[in-house]
Structure formats: structure tokens, C-alpha cells
Chain A
Amino acid sequence: MLKFLIEKEFKQIVRNTFLPKIIIMMPVMMMLVLPWAANQEVKDVRLSIVDNDHSVYSERLVNKIIAGGYFKLTDVSASNPEAMRSIESGKADIILEIQDEFDKSLINEGVARVMISANSVNSTKGGLGSSYLSAILADYATELREEGGQAVVTAVEVPSFGVMPQYKFNPHLDYKVFMVPALMVTLLTMLCGFLPALNIVGEKEAGTIEQINVTPVKKLVFVLAKLIPYWVIGFAVLTVAIGLGALVYGIYPVGNLLTIFLFATIYILVVSGMGLVISNYSDTMQQAMFVMFFFMMILLLMSGLFTPTTSMPEWAKTITVFNPLKYFIQVMRLVYLKGSTFFEMIPQFLALCGFALALNTWAVVSYRKSQ
């Protein structure tokens, strides 16, 4: 019986005008486009300079800043209000104002002041931009000091000791290494959670589920027949995604590939269960889509995909405990970057098993073949 139903599902998926395309496009988009886009490195900060000094020293500072590559000089303004206008009109992100007699105070007093004003509407850009700029200023001061003077150029206090960080597991702080494994999680969520759920609701809308309900097909069999094709697709797509990650970015899991697949199996059960619960409570595709969209936003933003869950407020941290995405994203990053073994990830394993059990029990209980 199951055989005939699975056969039917595959035929329907292949004949669908939309599904095969999305099944191919999704991993391609996720793996080839998103790692570049979901990147929090700040580059090309647009800088407006107000140089009140016009000396050799100030010019050298400006050249140094431009040479760093992080900043793009948009304009040199005559006064601070004028520079503010270019921020307001969106032409610049940061103003660097160099005080009058910058060179003189540098030579005579050994200290000169500059002012950094950053547009912090995008707080990441504003914050990182001004700290890059401070770093360049500090560097410039060191340069001058080495040349003999006791000059200090400062916007903030200059640390008196040098820090040489050694970044473990992701030595180049490449954001893609961090994102690629996590994006695979969202891929599985969509393919194995949401697509089969939409498929079931689609049968409700078409009325064909009624025809199945009068047959002796057991609900477990019907649901399995819906899920198995997407499980197969999910594993195939995950394999393709891992391959793309290796080919395009040279990102391989440091840990065992089998560990990834083991966790993926449990995770697929979790999201399938979640999708089934949603499909049981939805009568139309539209309804199901809205519910999924609502949950997807929360699940993604509270999963640690973009921002670490540990730096969230206490109440938000409590919510993330109930987010299965969080655990699988952790697992993927741990295996990919640190090479963690199964035994180091028992807590995540137990959490995911708990979700799988709870969601699937809920799905079975809430599914009704008759009223």
C-alpha cells in the first residue's frame, strides 16, 4: 500500500510546475548567493573628511585611511555642518574632523585631537566603522612615534599594550565558514518541514484527501508516504550542499560526515513533525503559508544563525531553548569548524530527540481521519 502511495507522491512532485524548480534553486541560492550576502563584515564605509588643518600631517593621515581599503572617501567638506548634510542625504557614513592646527599641537604638545562622528542607523556599520578608524588613528600615532616624536593622535584612548589575538577554528575570521554550515540547516527546514506540510494541505484543498480518508489507508501510512519522498530529497540536497560548500568555498567539515548525517536524520524528523502539526491545523495553503512564515521568522532570528543566542536578553534566551534550529545549527558549526564528535554533542542530540518525539506525537494526536 505504502509503495503505491510513495510512487504517486514522486510522480506528483516531478510533474508539479513549481516544486522541482524550487528543489534545485533552493540549495543553489543558499550555497552560492547567501554566504556572500549574509555577511557582517563591513567594507566600503563612506567617509567624509573635514580637514581644518591642511597640513602635511593631516594629508598623510587621510592617505593612510584611504589606503587601508575599508574606507571610501566621498567628499572633503569645508565645515562640520556641511559634512553632516552629506550624512543626512545618505552620501556618507562617517565624518572624520581634523582640528585646526593639528600639526602644531602634534609637534608642540605631542597630542592632537580628531573627531569621529558615525551614522549609527545601521549600528554594525557605525560601530565597526568607527572602531576601524580608531585603529588606523592609533596606528598612525605609532608610526609618528617611531619617527622620533612623542606624538599621539587620538579619538579614543590608545591601549598601552598590544594584543595579538589568535583566532581558533576560523583563523581568518571568514564569515562564510560560519554561515555555510548554518545555512544547510535552513535548507533542510524548508525542504523536509514546510514542503510536505504544504503538500498535505494542498490535498485538503483539492478534496482528494477525502477520497483517501474513505479508503482503508491508515493515517500513519498516508503521512509516511508524504514524508518519505521529502526525506530522500532532503538528504540528496544536503549532500549537494555539502559538496557545493567544499567545491566553491573549500569548506569541509573538520569532524565526521556521518555525525552530520546522523544529526540530520533526527533533525528531519523534528521539522517534518513541525510541518505536520501546522498542516493539521490549516485548511488552506494560504493559512499554512502564513503560519509557517510567522514561525520561520522567529525560528531563524532566535536560532543564533546571525547573532549569538548567548548575547540575547535572559527572556529571549529562554525562548531559544525551545528552538530546534538552534541545536542543529550549533551541531553543524561544531562539526564543521571544531570537528566535535558525537559524544561532545550529547546535549544537542537529546534536545533534538525530545523535539522529534514531542512534535510527532502532537502530529499524530491532532490528525483526524474522521470527525
Chain B
Amino acid sequence: MEDKAIYTENLTKRFGNFTAVDQISFEVEKGEIFGFLGANGAGKTTAMRMLCGLSHPTSGKGNVAGFDIAREPEKVKQNIGYMSQKFSLYEDLKVWENLRLFGGIYGMKSKEIAVKTDEVLQELELERERETLVKSLPLGWKQKLSFSVSIFHEPKVVFLDEPTGGVDPVTRRQFWELIYQAAERGITVFVTTHYMDEAEYCNRVSIMVDGKIEALDTPKNLRQQFEVSTMDDVFQQLARRATRKAD
């Protein structure tokens, strides 16, 4: 199991009487793009927070980048990147200052950061915005920058929580190109989304319903299994089984 980027065994999180995540078990290979789907309130964010070491599991086991999420959350954190649903770069810092800050936090040296900053800005075609305060960037650019910040320190696994929410189709397309580039470099990508066309871009997809994983396979196999033509139909069929109300 040590060669998996992520694996969980009966991972569970309860808040009082409410079981947000109910005994989920799955594995993610190194360098894989893993789609983590589910309706609102299905427990995706809670599961992701546990994997990132932000939330302590009630029971079960989880291992990310070779470290136990319950026993070594700080080591997990050293080896992952995280981009949250809520845009969370520092708005009152300039583009390069955000990169420098997060690089520094992960222990990169100033020189190393400067070189990498040039590279990233070139890749994103944001060289001209180097000195711009993040708050004055358009949303699409912010999202791309946010992703670049989350993989700036070359983590083993990156968690993306609805990274393309509210972004236009062209920018979403570009965003996925960035994800593919990261995966090619060997970074494992764990992504949640509500866009079913994006689910098609993933290597494998899991669908959560009411805190449980109801389906897990490649998009192609899932479509065949449910005898439908799109991932959207697969999702609709599964989501209809939900008894839990969306939040």
C-alpha cells in the first residue's frame, strides 16, 4: 500500500449523531487525476479536509503521500498542496509576494523562489501582472494563480476543492491544461467538481452519495456500467438515491 498516493480504509467522520463521511475506502495511484464527485452535502469537503489533516477522523484509516493522516498530519501537510473552494490567496499581497510567501512557508530558499516565480509567471503568461495586487486580478486568473501556488513547492499530492467554480468555459479549459501539466510532472491530483464535463477529464472518478462512495471507476467504465452516454446521466442516477438534503 505504501506505493499509493492516497489510500483510505473505512474512513469515517461523525459530528454528533450525524455521519458526514461513512466508512469510505479507496486508493489513488501516483500521478493519477482522481475526480471526487458528489452532490452538495454528500460529504466530499469533509472527506477532503480529513485527507489534508484539517479534520481528525472519527474512525478508520487514511494515508496520504506515505503518511498517516491521524498520526502524522504535519508530515502530510509538508507533502501536499491545497486549493480551497473559497479563493484564499492574500488579496492585499502582490502576485509575486503570494508565491514568495507560500514558497517560504514550505521551506524554499529565496533564490529558489525567485527562479521558480519567473518560471510560473511565464507559464501562466502573468509576467506583466507580477507587481499587481491579487485583489485586482480577474477571477479566472486568480484561480490559475491559486493553483500554481498550491503546487509551487512540488507537492506529492494536490487537493483541489471545486477549483473552477464560477469560471468561464475557456478559462476552465486552460485550468485543466494546468492540471494535466502537473500530473505529467508526477503530482497526484485529487479534485472535486460539479461540472460533469470535467469529470470526463479525470483518469478515475468516485461518486459520493450520503457519505458513502457509491461508484468508483474510469469515466468510460461508469458510463457503460450505468448504460448511459454521459457522466451527467451517471451522476443523476446516483444522486437521485440520496436521502440526505443538500446543504
Interface residues, chain A, with chain B CB atoms under 8 Å away: 1, 3-5, 7-8, 11-12, 15-16, 206-208, 210-218, 369-371
Contacts and interface: CB of A to CB of B under 8 A. Distances in A.
Provide the main secondary structure of the chain A interface. helix
B124 interface: no
A207 B88 contact: yes
A211 B91 CA distance: 13
A231 B58 CA distance: 40
B52 A4 contact: no
B5 to A, nearest CB: 16
A284 B247 CA distance: 22
B56 A371 contact: yes
A24 B158 CA distance: 43
How many interface residues does chain B have, given as a range? 20 to 34
Nearest to A212: B105
Interface of B: 52-56, 73-74, 77-78, 80, 82, 84, 86-93, 97, 100-107, 133, 159
B54 A211 contact: no
B53 A12 contact: no
A168 to B, nearest CB: 53
Contact of A214 (B82, B107, B133): B82
A206 to B, nearest CB: 7
A120 B82 CA distance: 66
A8 B88 contact: no
Contacts of A218: 74
Contacts of B97: 8, 11
A214 B86 contact: no
Contact of B77 (A12, A208, A214): A214
Contact of B54 (A7, A206, A210, A216): A210
Contact of A4 (B55, B77, B80, B104): B104
A207 B86 contact: yes
Given A12-B92, A16-B92, A210 B102 contact: no
B56 A216 contact: no
Given A12-B92, A208-B90, A215 B54 contact: no
A48 to B, nearest CB: 60
Contact of B88 (A3, A16, A211): A211
